Every structure is written in C-alpha cells, then in structure tokens.
Structure 1
C-alpha cells in the first residue's frame, strides 16, 4: 500500500506521547495525553489505544494506512512474549501488554522497553546517527537505558539488558530502597524523582537553601537553584552526576561504547549536570576504555521514544 504510516507510542509515568512516522522515520504528527497510571494497567492500555486512534483521525491519513504500531513501555519486560513483568513506576506486574493492545487496535503491535526505543530513535536519526555502538540513558521519573550494538537494540537473553537505572551503584551507607525491590539503585539518586527526594530531605533537615521557599519542589527547581549558586542544590546535582558517571565507568569496561547519550527531562539541565558528569566519568573510567568516548545530550528530545517505537515497526516489517 502506498503511503503507509507507522505509529510510535512512548509511555511515560506522567504522559503518553504518540506519533505518526513515514517509512523514512520522519515524524509527521504528534499527540500527547495523560497516563493516568493510578487507574491501573488495563485503563492505561485502553488510553494508549484511544490516543492511537485519535491521532490517525486527526491526521490526513486513514486507519488502513497504518502498517504497524510500536510501543515503548516502562519496566522489566519479556519482549518476545510481549509481557511487562514489572514496572515499578507504574505498579504493573505480569501485564500482557502486546496482546491487549493488539486486541484493542486490530493491528500488529511491537513492544520494547521505553528506554530501548528512545535509544533506537537517537541512533536512527538523532545524536547517535552514524555511531554503531552507543548507550543511551533516559533521566526522567526513573532512569532507563538502551544499548545499541552494531546499530541494533541489544535486549539480552530475556529482554532485561539496558536496565541501567537498577545498577546497584550507591554505597550501602548512603543507599535507600528502590521501587524494583533492590537497594542503592542509580535511579534513587539520578532520576528526577531521586533529585526531588534529596532536595526535600535537605529542606526537612533545615538546611539553608532557596529550595525551602518553594511550596512544591520539582527537579527543574533544583537545577535552577544550582545554576544560581545554591550550595545545597549544587551538592544534590553533583551527587546525581557522580553516580551517573560511575555507572558509565562500569558500562565502559563491559561494552566500550563510542558514545553516551543522555535524554529525558533531566538532561535539559545543561552544563550544570553535564560538567560534573563528564568529570566523574573521566575520573573513574580507565583511559583505554574512555578514549574517544563522548557524553552528549539527546537531540530528538521528547520525540526520541516516538521515533524509536516507529522504528520497531520498520525493523519487524
């Protein structure tokens, strides 16, 4: 069929983003709506189906032109079987997401971890274009990761590869419990949630910081305060960057990627985050493993997951 289109879905803890791509990966149309995670998996998957149908209805395309739908979902996944085994941030356990979406939409649905599809999007047409081996971190509500080897997503034997946010990187004396059930995960300090938690803890301890003047602290507030020289905010940002850099050092001696790409909302902080991150990476990574490696922000922004999810359809076409 001429003019086939591919739909990508990026499921986040707060919002669901949907996009239409052509066969070249050009993003033609987007739509975004709330996740409503507290309503449960069935309701969220129903909302995804609703948004997918709406974006086609609102576009110049017809439903028959949809060649496939790809979805990036948050959590630990059995990708071949289409199950979300565990999504700590969504509260999902053993959800047959692929089957439910296919029943609701009547189309073939390909699913993968949301961070994997973001990495694929960046590798295809973003900050990783032309780099065959790279690792992408997505810093948002949680910390996700995607590994691209020779231009393809590396999923591991059970689809668990790239769960970088659940590397146990924080020393026990500083560690807290993570939603995955482990202790000391990277996600507890380097996600937006972790940064806000550390800021709230500092305020509750009575530390002198401009953050204490805010009714509700967001991660952006912490970065803005750090840029203004707030010592407490700077300490929090440097701690998040330190453990992020240490995790990259561990990844480098295992995979030796040519580039690290940082995406997600937290990546918008700019050099207040990237400068201490690069410093930590250089400090803890052996020279041979870091040679020629750079750390760059994602360039597709909020569109990386959509484009990458559409890329899943093209790959499995």
Structure 2
C-alpha cells in the first residue's frame, strides 16, 4: 500500500487500542492489548511500542509509510513537551511519553487529552467531517469535551480548554459537589453517574417509578423507563437534557460553532435525549447565533479516540 499513514493510540486503564489511518481519516486497521498499568509506565510504554509495530506489520503498509504517531491520554498533560504530569487512573507522575516513544519507534509522536482526540476524530472523519468549527461532548461516566476551531483542537493557555463537564450550570440551591471539588458542574447531572444518582434519589424519596424495581440502576435503565412513559425517569432525562442544552447555548454565543456533536454511552439514548436538548438550546440562544447550528450524535463510537490520535500529526 502506498501513501502516508498515521497511527493513533488510545491508552486506557485496562486496554490499549491502536489504529492505523490514511490521510483522510479512514481507519484501516486496529489492534488491542492489555495495558499492564500495574507494572508501571516503562512497561506500558514498551507495550504501546510493541502494539504499534504489530499493527503496522499486520497491515498492508510498511514502516516507512508511517508519518507520525499520536496518543490520547487521560490526566493532566504538558502537551507541547509530551509529558503526562499526573494521571490518576494510571498513577503516573511526570512520564515523558513523547520522548520515550520517539526513541523506541523512531517516529514523531504527539499527545493530547483523550476527550480532545475523540473530538478531533469526529471532526476529521466522523460527524464533523467537513465542519471547520464544532464542539464535541462525550457523555459517559463523566462529561468530557473537545473544541475544534479551524479544524484544529483548541487547547487554551494551559491545555484545559474543553472541560465541558465542569461548567457550573446548576443553580446553587440545587447544586451538589462535583468530583472536581466545585459545585453544580454539568457532570453532576448529565453524565451516566449523575443520571444514576438522580434515579436513586427518586427511589429513596418514594417517587412512583418502575426504577424502584431495579437493584442496580444504570443510565440505560433510566432512558428505557422514560421511553416507556415513567414520569420520574422522564423528569431525570429532561433535567440532564436541560443543562446540556443550556451549556451549549452559553458556548454558542462565545464560539458560534457550526455543530455540536454528542458521543459516549449516554448519547445512545437517541431522540428522547436529543429532542429536549435541541429545544432548550433554541430557547436560550439568540436567533442569529443558533442559525445553521445543528446538534447531532457522534458516528465513530469507540474508534473516535484512535482516529483522532492518529490525526494529531496531520492537523
């Protein structure tokens, strides 16, 4: 196979996924293996290098075709230097990922926040393909995000731009403390964790709800109950959607993106979540700002991270 290819690394706490993309962001090949985080950063970086070589060896591309390698990582990063300053999940401190992988693989390496690279993946060849300016939300255990301006990740002065889950949107009287230490963050109501918490609260209050019959409530249980007409579940879904829509309205008057993209497990709920988000966004956004702005689901699923990471050396 001729033409340049790019390798993306999605580093998780339990598994490492690597992917090979062409210059258009088409995912050509993937490989996945265990992280081995318990053995320390040197072992993990050795595994990344081995998985990357295995990936390329199994593909139709040669090693000389690889133009660059990108990695998406969770934690606090020094992106220009390519250093993981602190990763709570991996228990890493000051790990020089870029320099180490460049030495092991002999290719240019770039790193970025995992939510940012997922956003870049969607912008490159997913739901944001052809869109220069977009904002991506990832609704999972928490709420992650990424801002794409002019086709590139906007990182801010300290690399902390796009922390959408930590927008303080819930009024003080209703706010609870977020894991970040602040009160009223979007993550407390619009993540899977927030939705489950609100469902448990409803059951404990004695609300009439089918959720009371479920021992270990999941976010999917809440959405399924809402679709079946459960009023308590529907209130929870609408509350999560309300604050998502309001956060988008706030971002729209600042960034004026062409598209909001919502990914992550919670986004699979479908129109029962997306319709109220769109209604709230329209209600709280000036007409001139909301014009030609759409809110759509992500399309790359679990591949967004490796695709976006691969694009770090291209865009």
**Shift in CA distance, 291/4, structure 1 to aligned 2, threshold 3 Å:** closer
Q: Which moved more, 1:194-203 or 1:150-159?
A: 194-203
TM-score (norm 2): 0.87
Distance 1:298 1:191 in 2: 16
Given that 1:77 and 1:160 are in contact with CA atoms closer than 8 Å, whether structure 2 keeps it comes out as: no
**Shift in CA distance, 19/58, structure 1 to aligned 2, threshold 3 Å:** same
**SS of aligned partner of 1:155:** coil
Aligned to 1:218: 218
Aligned to 2:282: 282
Listed as ranges, the matches of 1:92-171 within 5 Å are 94-102=94-102, 105=105, 107-171=107-171
Given that 2:24 and 2:125 are in contact with CA atoms closer than 8 Å, whether structure 1 keeps it comes out as: no
Q: Which moved more, 1:199-208 or 1:35-44?
A: 35-44
Distance 2:42 2:196 in 1: 29
Listed as ranges, the matches of 1:115-264 within 5 Å are 115-264=115-264
Given that 1:89 and 1:179 are in contact with CA atoms closer than 8 Å, whether structure 2 keeps it comes out as: no
Aligned to 1:295: 295
The structural deviation recorded for 1:252 is 1.0
**Shift in CA distance, 135/65, structure 1 to aligned 2, threshold 3 Å:** same
Q: Which runs of 5+ in 1 are unaligned?
A: none
Structure 1, residues 49-69: CA drift from partner, whole Å, max 9, x if none? 454344345445555543322
**Shift in CA distance, 99/294, structure 1 to aligned 2, threshold 3 Å:** same
Structure 1, residues 65-115: CA drift from partner, whole Å, max 9, x if none? 433221122244331122344556666665544345445655432111222
Q: CA RMSD, aligned part only?
A: 2.8
Distance 2:197 2:92 in 1: 23
Aligned to 1:305: 305
Aligned to 1:18: 18
Rg (Cα) greater in structure: 2
Q: Which moved more, 1:40-49 or 1:70-79?
A: 40-49
**SS of aligned partner of 2:9:** strand
**SS of aligned partner of 1:261:** strand
Q: Which moved more, 1:214-223 or 1:257-266?
A: 214-223
TM-score (norm 1): 0.86
**Shift in CA distance, 266/100, structure 1 to aligned 2, threshold 3 Å:** farther
The structural deviation recorded for 1:160 is 1.4
**SS of aligned partner of 1:67:** strand
The structural deviation recorded for 1:237 is 1.2
**SS of aligned partner of 2:171:** coil
Aligned to 2:79: 79
**SS of aligned partner of 1:312:** helix
Given that 1:10 and 1:309 are in contact with CA atoms closer than 8 Å, whether structure 2 keeps it comes out as: yes
The structural deviation recorded for 1:243 is 0.9
Aligned length: 315
**SS of aligned partner of 1:260:** strand
**SS of aligned partner of 1:216:** coil
Q: Which runs of 5+ in 2 are unaligned?
A: none
Given that 2:260 and 2:295 are in contact with CA atoms closer than 8 Å, whether structure 1 keeps it comes out as: yes
Distance 2:232 2:35 in 1: 33
Distance 2:172 2:39 in 1: 34
